[in-house]
Amino acid sequence: MSGGLQEGKICGRRTSKNPSSQIVEEFQVLNNKVQVIFTSDFSNEERFTGFAAYYVAVDVNECTDFADVPCSHFCNNFIGGYFCSCPPEYFLHDDMRNCGVNCSGDVFTELIGEITSPNYPSLYPENSRCEYQIVLEEGFQVVVTVRREDFDVESDSEGNCADSLIFVTRDQQFGPYCGNGFPGPLRIETNSNVLDIIFQTDQTGQKKGWKLRYHGDPIPCPKEIAANSFWEPEKEKYVYKDVVKITCQEGFEVVQERAGLPYFYSTCQSNGKWSNSRLVCEPVDCGSPDPIQNGKVEEPEDTAFGAVVHYTCNEPYYYLQTEESGEYHCAANGSWVNELLGTELPKCVPVCGIPTEMFEGTQRIFGGKAAKIENFPWQVFFASPRAGGALIDERWVLTAAHVVEKERNPTMHVGSTLVIRDRLKNAQELTAERVFFHPGWEFMEDPDTRKNFDNDIALVQLKDPVKLGPKVSLICLPGKSSNYSLSKGSLGLISGWGKTEDKNHVVHLRGAMIPVATLRECQQVKPKNRNVNVNSYVFTDNMICAGGNGGIDSCEGDSGGPLAVKISDEGKPKFYVAGLVSWGPECGTYGIYTRVQNYIDWIMKTMQENSIPSIN
């Protein structure tokens, strides 16, 4: 037995086949150890002499006597053993059987060169790992070219690489490559100045190997440098140390910690990347649009360049002063801009002259009828002296000068029909900031003896703006055109809390419709009180005569209240304050009203020069 195998079995009587030799059987055991086993049983009918065996040690040639060659290159036999050796320039691996080649450690620094596998174009060595390195100066990239016919590296039947060629940079790997003919691109741009070349072979199969050429190109930087921008100078290719100025497109900016810049500079670096890559052109952000008084702006989903927002006014009491001024877009300079107003915010101006409900009185407040405050939402109540006024602006009340001649800080209310104390709690109380008298108004020490009511007009500036709504709104001012001129028979509405037929002041607002008359008709009134001489009063073109039809007239307590006349403005009926209750020869006849149209310039100038800035 040798190595667990039975080499032979002998029994019986044997004679030598060679007459000159006594050896009857010979065994050659390719092992340095053999076991001899002799077995007998109890049934021997005769006595046998047994056996005699002789052995001798014979040297084995491991280099030739085994099917598997123990050495990859040279096998050297000696008595009792063998050793492997390698050709020149090869070395013996640690397994003491396989040879490899010393092909690592070469570093190539020239800008152009050629590298081959060991022994090229002869067969390359097996069981080898060859490592080469190309190192160029910064700013250059290694470009490798391999011709198809210069490449033959072992692969299996399925195309998998038994041996392989690999190119490796810091950021990427090219390969592995193998096969008959180079399978990669004809030109490999590595974008790196350092390239490792690794050639790995196994212990089977050998081919002629490969040959490559390389050269250094200036490392290019991407042609597309930054989004949403343009740059100069423009070049077909940017390489190491090239500098460009990057300018953001309209509506974009470079956002930095403190401010936005329209441009920045970038340099092509040695690693093929642009400097200042953290800087990007981002859309200009206009931020949230500013609010406006008496209006609102829709909250935009986006406030960046090109975004659009719309302003609207609190309808139906306010409207945009400039048509088509509600749309704003985020401009390139970071401002919200309107085509008509630019960066100026739109203004919501109060609607004037449109009552919530029309007055339905047809009677021709003396002789009038009870009214709702919604019929005359511009009506202002003066508590002391008891009088009236017209709301013409959120901060301005128009009234007769004689009403505020003695009381420069009048108590006023709007929005209430009843002027009793409990009801006035729900009305808006108005506080006077200042009173402006027309410069032509003549002050008197004893106003009760006044005969001249020329220029009987005053403006009361309010400390705070009035809050408009269904019960409080403005009456329009007249224009200068002839459309606002009154003629005999023109109808107007008067309203107030003055005396009625029973000579008592009313607490419920009353209104009436009266016709316009001529001044001569007022001059011809004969008062019941013989002590009153109408001809002693001054009549001017600044006055309007109205009433005198069926006992309908304004009276004491109505002073300063408006004579409202309806006019069609662009097809929309509106009321404007044509006159202010000034004086009259006798209640129930005709009344004299200040002609407001004659004072438009003074009214507008006074309000403009003394306007109080609005706070949004």
Q: What is the 3-state secondary structure (H, E, C) of 231-291?
A: EECCCCCEECCCEEEEEECCCEEEECCCCEECEEEEEECCCCCECCCCCCEEECECCCCCC
Q: Is 413 a residue of the active site?
A: no
Please pick, among 128, 164, 402, 495, the residue that the annotation labels catalytic.
Answer: 402
Ligand-binding annotation for 163, yes or no, is: yes
Considering the candidates 164, 266, 559, 582, report the single residue annotated as catalytic.
559
Contacts of 514 (CB under 8 A, 6+ apart): 364, 491, 492, 493, 494, 546, 547, 549, 552, 553, 563, 591
The angle subtended at Cα 36 by Cα 33 and Cα 39, nearest 5°, is 160
What is the enclosing helix (H) or strand (E) of 409? none
**Has 290 been labeled as part of a binding site?**
no
- 3-state secondary structure string, 484-546? HCCCCCCEEEEEECCECCCCCECCECEEEEEEEECHHHHHCCCCCCCCCCHHHCCCCCCEEEE
Nearest to 473 by CA among 418, 391, 397: 391
- Say whether 77 counts as a known binding-site residue: yes
The full length of the chain comes to 616
Residues 111/84, Cβ–Cβ less than 8 Å: no
Cα 132 off chain centre by: 52
65 is in an annotated binding site: no
Kind and range of the H or E run holding 89: none
> Are β-strands 379-382 and 387-393 bridged in parallel, bridged antiparallel, or unpaired?
antiparallel
Q: Phi-psi bin for 608: left (phi > 0), alpha (psi -120 to 50), beta? A: alpha
* Cβ within 8 Å of residue 229, ≥6 positions away: 246, 247, 248, 249, 252, 281
Active-site option among 393, 456, 553, 558: 456
Q: Give the span between the Cα atoms of 522 and 542, in whole angstroms.
A: 14
Q: For residues 583 and 456, is the Cβ–Cβ distance under 8 A?
A: yes
Q: Annotation-wise, does 556 bind a ligand?
A: no
CB 23 within 8 A of CB 15: no
Cα–Cα distance for residue pair 374/578, rounded to 1 Å: 20
Q: What are phi and psi of 179, to 5 degrees?
A: 110, 175
Annotated binding-site residue? 598: no
Backbone angles phi, psi at 489, to 5 degrees: 95, -15
Q: Which residues contact 426 (CB under 8 A, 6 or more apart)?
A: 415, 416
Cβ count within 10 A of residue 210? 23
Residue 95, marked binder: no
Query: In sequence order, what are the residues at sequence separation of 6 or more whose Cβ sits closer than 8 angstroms to the Cβ of residue 443?
Result: 405, 437
CA nearest neighbour of 191 among 221, 213, 215, 235? 221
CB 506 within 8 A of CB 419: no
Q: Please check if 375 is assigned to a binding site.
A: no
Task: Please tell me the distance from the alpha carbon of residue 11 to that of residue 214, in angstroms, as a whole number.
Answer: 77
154 is in an annotated binding site: yes
Q: For residue 606, which phi and psi values (nearest 5 degrees)?
A: -65, -45
Q: Is 327 annotated as a binding residue?
A: no
Any catalytic annotation for residue 456? yes
> Any idea which residues carry the catalytic annotation?
402, 456, 559
Task: Please give the annotated binding residues, written as ranges.
Answer: 41, 43, 59-60, 62, 77, 81, 154, 163, 202
Please enumerate, by residue number, every residue annotated as part of a binding site for Ca(2+).
41, 43, 59-60, 62, 77, 81, 154, 163, 202
